[in-house]
Structure 1
Amino acid sequence: MPSGLFALLDDISALVKSSAATLDDVPSQIAKTTGKVSGIVIDDTAVTPKYVVGLDPSRELAIIYQIAKKSLINKLLLLSPAALLLGYFAPWAITPILMVGGAYLCFEGYEKVHSLFSPHDGNMKQKSLKEITPEELEQQRVGSAVRTDIILSAEIMAIAYSQVTGQAMVNQIVVMVAVAVFITVAVYGFVGLIVKADDIGLHLAGHEYPPATQKVGRSIVKFMPHFLSWLGYVGTAAMLWVGAEIIAHGLPFTAHLLHELEQGLSSMPIVSWFAKALVCGVAGLIIGFVLDQLVMLVKKAF
């Protein structure tokens, strides 16, 4: 009996050591996964600020908090479990689902570009905005931001899952939860800093600070409107780029072409990155245009 107990304790000890060794590798896996999704994280950061531009400044952080909270809930309670379940029961379904999300990003990105070159549509949009309350407008912005975020988050969590495929379930869960929390805090923390930068500049421009500090504060106040406008364009371009890249990676032929493009320019990393982004951006615009025409046909038919 004692020998049996000692054998059981040995087995438990071995299991604990094995689990500890596996968990020791978690930080490196989190770092590796974060590096893999850095492009999507940048896109998410560029897209989000435009959803609070033009709203009550006193509500900016509250709106960002709402978006961040829903983003984290989606990552932890919807996307991570979905990735784990699909990865176990139907791994073939992950890519088509992501491609549908990529198509939506292309469609929304094309709509943004189209509105820039369509003054009539812009006037109609302004007219419709006057007919709703600030609370309703805020809810619309939050809903639109969450819809875009869930697609980018799905891509992030899918990549996170791909880095831990075949490992212990505990390892998979720990890495995916850590990535979800870290990226959400990083993205929306930085977005909050961006949208409140003008308030920070205004504070620094106060008379209680030295002239040099006041000058920095005034420069920030003057620079931020231009920066936010530029960031809005970057966010739209990012939606087209990421959406098309998701679709391209889901098709063997286009995935091979992208890989060949990267390999051909591997000696010039910056040129390689720019070329891939440009190709995907143009492709995203074309995909968005085609989808827009299909939507218009469906609306006319019904």
Structure 2
Amino acid sequence: MNIEQLTYIVEVAKTKSLAKAAEILNISQSGLSQAISRLESELNIKLFIRSRTGAVTTKEGDAIIEKAQDALYALYQIKAEAKHQLNNINDLLRISAIPGLAGPIIDTYILLKQKESTLKIEVNEKASMEIIEDIKDDKTDIGFIAINKASIDLVSDLHFIPVMNGKISVYTSIDSPLANTMERMTVDLLKTQKFVLYKDEYVQNFINNFQRLYGPIDVFFKTTNLDVITKAVMELGAVTIGHDISAVFNHSFPSDTVKAIEIADLSDTSFRFGWLKKHDNKLSNEAKHYIEEVNKMLWRQQ
């Protein structure tokens, strides 16, 4: 007994004709007749009384076909549930993103919720290396990270989806003399600055490489609080270093009072920014659509 045979007998019972049922089922009439005969032989029950005018169910056939209808409906429910699970797998999407990206991520989510999206999200801001480790440890489902050539091997066993390119820049108050005189920060000027830094591996690697090549610099303090960094830049005359896209997409970034200055070719400051997840982490269709909409917002605002 198989699903096809159950489908056949239900259709024949409904149409009361092998010819009509065969046409609907897209099978030859002889093939349909043989399949029903094999089922009758297996069950040792006569299901239909066949004649030139059609096929009607026997008393025993009525009971069997009722059970067949129940079985087929149960199979339909299984398929429907599987489809539902596919569309709603990971009902809660855990997202980690580098600082400054929470704005577009939340804004996109709000727009989708207004359209009655069922997706739920959890968003955390972290440094790229922390995000990579969290993904490997299944502490987050997907992350938006920055990665450079020197670190690309760290994500070789994960699925990285690049979205845009960017770089590390120096940020200073527009009231600073640097803002009025510099388009690119030179080594000599960089060495004289007072720094407040975000606790990020790439920022720290840049500082370490700079100090190794050109000597020590004055790092005032380090923090993961962007508001504190902005306050130090604006009120204490400090400078900071960070990813340019963090400034572009950070809603609270004071672009009217803080200026970005490119760093002279001291080292490779270019990065690729994008999504990172495990290869076997299957996102729901809802989650995939959400990520696509975040990308569209990032491209529009870039």
With normalisation by structure 1, the TM-score equals 0.25
Indicate the structure (1 or 2) with the bigger Cα radius of gyration.
2
- The structure where helix makes up a greater share of residues is 1
Larger RCO, structures 1/2 (Cα 8 Å, 6+ apart): 1
